[in-house]
Structure 1
Amino acid sequence: MRRTHVVAAVSAVALLAAACAGRPAPVTEVVAPGTSVAAATASRSAGPSPSSTGPTPAPIASLGPGEGTVSVVAIDGYAEWGGVDPKVKWVGAFEKETGCKVSLRYYDPRQEEKPGDFPPSSFDVISATPEVGGRLMNEGKAAPLNTALLHGYDKLPKRLRTLPSVTRDGRTYGVPYVWATNEVLYDTGEVSPGGLESLFEDKGPVLLRDRPLSLADAALVLRAGGAKIKDPFDLTDAQLDAAAELFTSGKKGRHVFWRDPVEVVQGFATGSVRLAQATPYHLDVLRRGHKPVSALTDRPVTGWADAWMVSAQAAHPSCAYKWLGFTMSADVQRRAAAWTGLAPANPGACTGAARRICADYHAGTSRAFRGVYFAVRPEAYDKWVDRWSRIVA
């Protein structure tokens, strides 16, 4: 897919961009201190695994003392070891607490076919988006979890624990980590939008997230117009075509697409966009930068929750479960939320450095998930990818 770049930032945007920083540019390989690159790469298989690994394994019944190592595949920013900022590190604490040395690799979730192609024997745990997690469950590459072995698991919000993106056939496959919602932001000095449909009117330029699941936002507009759509992530072919049409009808160049969160800040700060599909954290950053930006309060909206999953062929299952318990903790999720600008799944993390983030998302309150359709990998995901590739081409 082609990425449409927003106007380059001018010096006045630098402070805003720094405030929005969270993750650096994706990298392909990072090895935690104490682990050699050779050791980290040796576990990789030379080719893709089959589409299925056989019968679904049963959840493990008990944990051992730990195997001494664990292979972690993570979205950039979800497992920090001080390589970007010496003050931002929590991998070392895990190694010290558990005795499990971490072999860490990052992947770019925007290229979801790559993590989907990781053979299950090449990692123990992975941070999965709904798209990636759905594929891992579909292909039998993720193991069902024994949540009784995860202390404090029941303290996570039931809404997140029971999402279709982490459950299948009555079993749990993922532990929620961070989540967010897609909001409509607008320049109050330029436009006065009516609702979600404003993203698809001829009042550009409009900045949209470059992601096939953005088609679900168009589906919500269709539903508001009378279409019989129960779930925006479960569309018929005709509904999917109609959703795609909303992106391509009207003035050419009306829509531009972002992947890096900083692009949203740059777009509003430089005046190159008037509306954008973004997160509550974007709004907070822009307001702190004294930009005249507000957000629609209409519901419903779409959102997503990323989770940690264990490989169906994990070589180090005890250390993998220790990792799940560690990343589920309030302390780690507080650090992750502050670093990424995403809401923590654990409400206990909403203190200190994450207090402001939680306020942005109403995390830990009854408003947090109200009117939110959380993403799940559609059954016809390949069709969604095909439609989206035509939109951004």
Structure 2
Amino acid sequence: MRTPHSLKAALAVGALLLTAACGSSAGSGSASSGLNPPDLKAQSKLGENEGQVNLIAWAGYVEDGSDDPKVDWVSGFEKQTGCQVKTKTAASSDEMVSLMKTGQYDAVSASGDASLRLIASGDAAPVNTGLIPNYKDVFTGLKNQAWNTVKGVNYGVPHGRGANLLMYNTEKVKPAPTSWSAVFDKSSAYKGKVTAYDSPIYIADAALYLMKTKPSLGIKNPYALDQKQFDAAVDLLKEQNKNIGEYWSDYLKEISAFKSGNSVVGTTWQVIANTAQSEGAKVKAVIPKEGATGWSDTWMVSAKAKHPNCAYQWLNWIISPKVNAEVAEYYGEAPSNAKACKLTADKSLCATYHASDESYWKNVHYWTTPIQQCVDGRTDVTCVPYVKWVQAWTEIKG
């Protein structure tokens, strides 16, 4: 699935549509222990830079000044390393996975739905974080996680993170909602004005709600659903569909819908809430009592990289304090490097995005690829894989 975009990035590349992503829950890399990826070895030392690096990235992640002369974290990298950057902007995680299989690219900014697929297929190489000096300053809560670490082996470096929040119109939705029941069990109260994220990964939002409200289902991880659990989440979303006014994929349209009153409650990102408020919308966004889903992107190195040394240089550069601060601010997310918080132009950015508040992130279940090997550790059942999530999403929307 695709990751969030800040308003600035969206304006720079046009109103891009978001694509289907996938998720995982908060927790350690042990959750993906059911995977048995190919026995690949991480690079043991850095060699001479090859003079070029070919990247696959979400729009807004590898800015070179061509969209905005003031937004450029490529030129400094090229000058410092001698590695010339060539970037392919991808529109979806599926596209990223396909492109990585060609062997023409050295690194990718993979979302949680793509990362485990790349690891399982052997398209992503283990990463030696000892060769990436800035990795030591990455927030502890982003290290060794289920979407980029398998059996203690790292497959990349965290780029940033964000939560999927509940946004509501403060004048139309009263009392102020504290639960996802506002968009599930009580959605009929706002019939036609409920909005939801248009992606198969949204099934995890329903699973998270059921995990907290129907413990008899035994859901422990919203991305590890056996058939009974999966069917319950799908049924809940089919009921919700009757009250949905719009599934949003272009978040500029979501802002417009909340401003006009066509939407009054639904899922959102912090950057959307901030922008809507700045444009006069009477909205607030919260993490409900059940918690929330969320995302963290990972820069991964191709197992077929022709320029692995430049790829490692890029991974170190993109999470360096100054550059990570610039990317996070431009894109609209919490940075991954703890030292970045002192370097943002907006000194309140890290507080707004809860960058260093690990207690906040404990309630966020990060996107991770749903696979047949249940990522919650169960071995007595088979979980529903991502391809089935995609099929079900089509049925849910009718």
What TM-score comes out, normalization by structure 2 length?
0.83
Residue of structure 2 in register with 1:343 after alignment: 334
1:247 is aligned to 2:230? no
- In structure 2, relative to structure 1, the CA distance for the partners of 1:378 and 1:18 (3 Å cut) is closer
1:212 is aligned to 2:200? yes
Residue among 97, 108, 125 paired with 1:143? 125
- Whole-Å separation in 2 of the counterparts to 1:197 and 1:26: 30
Residue among 155, 172, 185 paired with 1:173? 155
> Contact 2:112/2:368 (CA < 8 Å) preserved in 1?
yes
Residue of structure 2 in register with 1:199 after alignment: 183
CA apart distance, 1:355: 3.4
- Whole-Å separation in 2 of the counterparts to 1:282 and 1:165: 25
1:332 is aligned to 2:315? no
**Which amino acid counterpart does residue 222 of structure 1 have in structure 2?**
L
**Which amino acid counterpart does residue 381 of structure 1 have in structure 2?**
Y
CA apart distance, 1:67: 0.6
- Whole-Å separation in 2 of the counterparts to 1:63 and 1:143: 15
CA apart distance, 1:114: 1.9
Aligned length: 351
**Which amino acid counterpart does residue 129 of structure 1 have in structure 2?**
S
Between 287-296 and 93-102, report the one with greater CA deviation. Answer: 287-296
> Contact 1:128/1:307 (CA < 8 Å) preserved in 2?
yes
- In structure 2, relative to structure 1, the CA distance for the partners of 1:295 and 1:249 (3 Å cut) is same
1:78 is aligned to 2:77? no
- Whole-Å separation in 1 of the counterparts to 2:309 and 2:353: 33
Residue among 268, 272, 283 paired with 1:282? 272
What TM-score comes out, normalization by structure 1 length?
0.84
- In structure 2, relative to structure 1, the CA distance for the partners of 1:177 and 1:58 (3 Å cut) is same
- In structure 2, relative to structure 1, the CA distance for the partners of 1:21 and 1:198 (3 Å cut) is farther
1:374 is aligned to 2:356? no
- In structure 2, relative to structure 1, the CA distance for the partners of 1:316 and 1:241 (3 Å cut) is same
Instruction: Provide Cα deviations, 1:5-59, integer angstroms capped at 9, x if missing partner.
Output: xxxxxxxxxxx977985753459xxxxxxxxxxxxxxxxxxxxxxxxxx943211
Between 278-287 and 79-88, report the one with greater CA deviation. Answer: 278-287
1:378-393 correspondence to structure 2 within 5 Å: 378-379=370-371, 380-393=385-398
Residue of structure 2 in register with 1:260 after alignment: 250
Residue of structure 2 in register with 1:12 after alignment: none
**Which amino acid counterpart does residue 135 of structure 2 have in structure 1?**
Y
- In structure 2, relative to structure 1, the CA distance for the partners of 1:19 and 1:175 (3 Å cut) is closer
1:61 is aligned to 2:51? no
> Contact 2:52/2:85 (CA < 8 Å) preserved in 1?
yes
1:114-125 correspondence to structure 2 within 5 Å: 114-118=95-99, 119-125=101-107
* Structure 2: gaps spanning 5 or more residues: 18-36, 372-384
DSSP-derived class of the 1:58 partner: coil
**Which amino acid counterpart does residue 173 of structure 1 have in structure 2?**
Y
CA apart distance, 1:134: 1.6
Instruction: Provide Cα deviations, 1:228-264, integer angstroms capped at 9, x if missing partner.
Output: 1111111111211211222221573524211122122
1:92 is aligned to 2:75? yes
Between 127-136 and 237-246, report the one with greater CA deviation. Answer: 237-246
CA apart distance, 1:298: 2.3
Instruction: Provide Cα deviations, 1:111-157, integer angstroms capped at 9, x if missing partner.
Output: x3222112251100111011111211111100001111110212212
Residue of structure 1 in register with 2:211 after alignment: 223
**Which amino acid counterpart does residue 387 of structure 2 have in structure 1?**
D
Residue among 113, 118, 128 paired with 2:94? 113
> Contact 2:165/2:269 (CA < 8 Å) preserved in 1?
yes
RMSD: 2.2
> Contact 1:187/1:275 (CA < 8 Å) preserved in 2?
yes
DSSP-derived class of the 1:353 partner: coil
- Whole-Å separation in 1 of the counterparts to 2:13 and 2:347: 19
- In structure 2, relative to structure 1, the CA distance for the partners of 1:250 and 1:98 (3 Å cut) is closer
CA apart distance, 1:342: 1.4
**Which amino acid counterpart does residue 299 of structure 2 have in structure 1?**
W
Q: Percent identity?
A: 34
- Whole-Å separation in 1 of the counterparts to 2:142 and 2:83: 28
DSSP-derived class of the 2:347 partner: helix
- In structure 2, relative to structure 1, the CA distance for the partners of 1:75 and 1:57 (3 Å cut) is same
Instruction: Provide Cα deviations, 1:265-309, integer angstroms capped at 9, x if missing partner.
Output: 111111110012011222222222332211234241111100100
**Which amino acid counterpart does residue 365 of structure 1 have in structure 2?**
D
- Whole-Å separation in 2 of the counterparts to 1:172 and 1:198: 38
**Which amino acid counterpart does residue 297 of structure 2 have in structure 1?**
D
- In structure 2, relative to structure 1, the CA distance for the partners of 1:315 and 1:297 (3 Å cut) is closer
1:362 is aligned to 2:354? yes
CA apart distance, 1:65: 2.3
> Contact 1:66/1:99 (CA < 8 Å) preserved in 2?
yes
- Whole-Å separation in 2 of the counterparts to 1:347 and 1:211: 31
CA apart distance, 1:378: 0.5
DSSP-derived class of the 2:234 partner: helix
**Which amino acid counterpart does residue 287 of structure 1 have in structure 2?**
Q
Residue of structure 1 in register with 2:31 after alignment: none
- Whole-Å separation in 1 of the counterparts to 2:241 and 2:308: 53
* Structure 1: gaps spanning 5 or more residues: 2-15, 28-53
CA apart distance, 1:68: 0.7
- In structure 2, relative to structure 1, the CA distance for the partners of 1:99 and 1:388 (3 Å cut) is same
